[in-house]
Structure 1
Amino acid sequence: MLKRLRAFARHLGGELLALSLAARDPRTPWPARVLALLVLAYALSPIDLIPDFIPVLGQLDDLLLVPAGLWLALRLIPPQVLADARAQAAAQPTRLARSAWGLALMLVLYALAAYLLWSWWAHRS
């Protein structure tokens, strides 16, 4: 079981690298680029929706949100672009590092969500 999880994590890392390469390709449509950047920002950000120190739930968001976002983003990328990106990722396997830009984007999105929630709550009263 642990061996399969490690293989899945390795495959997921390779797909994230391919997504990163495909997002930079000029043949990728802009909606796919935006979603790819959001998925990459969330996956590489040190801040999660549910913090990892919370048992089970902390890892559950990583096990559900990242693969679901990755699946959707990969479906929006043209097949030839994705094939080229996967070939390039396989030829030069590198590890994606934590991203300061991803952290900044996630902080802005969380702040925006908190503001919208507070605004809705304040106007409801």
Structure 2
Amino acid sequence: MKQSAWKKWARELKKNTYALYLASKDSRVPWTAKIIIWFVVAYALSPIDLIPDFIPVIGYLDDLLILPIGIWLAIQIIPNAVWLECQITAEKESLSLPKNWRAGIIIICIWLLVIGGFLLWAWPL
């Protein structure tokens, strides 16, 4: 994929994330979609990744797989008319989304639980 294609893909991902944020506030969106949207948007805005980017190869898998799959899944549940409205609004506003430190704290807690569980499992009793 050329660099311009990557940039276009990244812009679309950012626009769709903002459109999902807008959809999460719409009363016409089912609660199941809102739950998925909250997880996707929180993860996208989190300053901390579930899999840190410095880990070779798999460090970027969350950005390349988890977010697009979550966005795709949420879009499938959102009514088409609502999704189109949110996309148009996201395109017009093109606001930057703030970092979500609450999601970052949750990811830190997940890592601490994983590390703690591993230490308890590996520690000889």
Q: CA 1:52/1:112 → structure 2, altered by over 3 Å: closer, same or farther? A: closer
Runs of 4+ in structure 1 off by over 4 angstroms are none
Letter of the 2:38 counterpart? L
Which residue is 1:106 aligned to? Answer: 107
Which runs of structure 2 are paired with 1:51-66 in the superposition (5 Å)? 51-66=52-67
CA distance in 2, matches of 1:27, 1:55: 41
% identical aligned pairs: 40
Q: Any unmatched runs of 5+ in structure 2?
A: none
Query: What is the root-mean-square deviation of aligned Cα atoms in Å?
Result: 2.5
Which residue is 1:94 aligned to? Answer: 95
CA distance in 1, matches of 2:107, 2:86: 25
TM-score w.r.t. the length of structure 1 is: 0.83
TM-score w.r.t. the length of structure 2 is: 0.83
CA distance in 2, matches of 1:75, 1:107: 30
CA distance in 1, matches of 2:35, 2:102: 14
Which residue is 2:72 aligned to? Answer: 71
Which residue is 2:25 aligned to? Answer: 24
Counterpart secondary structure, 1:63: helix
Letter of the 1:61 counterpart? D
Q: Any unmatched runs of 5+ in structure 1?
A: none
Counterpart secondary structure, 1:51: coil
Aligned residues of 2:21 and 2:37 also touching (Cα < 8 A)? yes
